[in-house]
Amino acid sequence: MDYLKLSKMMKAIAEPNRLQIVDMISTGEKCACDLLDNFNFTQPTLSHHMKVLIAAGIVSARKDGKWHYYSLDQKNIKVFESLTNQIFKKNVEVH
């Protein structure tokens, strides 16, 4: 089990604004401009949050013109689900 990768992902989404961002893009790709409309912070702050999520492997980005578009990194999300399921299913099966 890759505890380092899992803890990096969990740490990234443990911040409330980043968790909300992940929830928002879980329904599909979103433009940074659309994400900003839902928060009371600046574009540089959004950029910082997105860099953390990208570095953790949770989000992927693409640039189109002056805007960035963000979506969940489906491959890494499946790894995250698998790792957390391994931990929590062990706990459920024991009790």
User: Can you give the pLDDT of all 95 residues of the chain as single tens digits?
Assistant: 788 989 999 999 999 999 999 999 999 999 999 999 999 999 999 999 999 999 999 999 999 998 899 999 999 999 999 989 988 886 555 55
* Continuous segment of H or E residues that includes residue 80: helix 74-94
Identity at 66, one-letter amino acid code = K
- pTM, two decimals, is 0.87
Q: Which residues of 58-92 are buried (b: 16+ CB within 10 A; e: fewer)?
A: bbbeeeeeeebbbebbeebbebbeebeeeeeeeee
For the record, the structure tokens of 86 come out as: 């391994």
Q: Are 24 and 30 in contact (CB under 8 A)?
A: yes
- Walk me through the domains of the chain, giving residue ranges and CATH numbers: 3-94 (1.10.10.10)
What is the rounded distance in angstroms from the CA atom of residue 44 to the CA atom of residue 95? 46
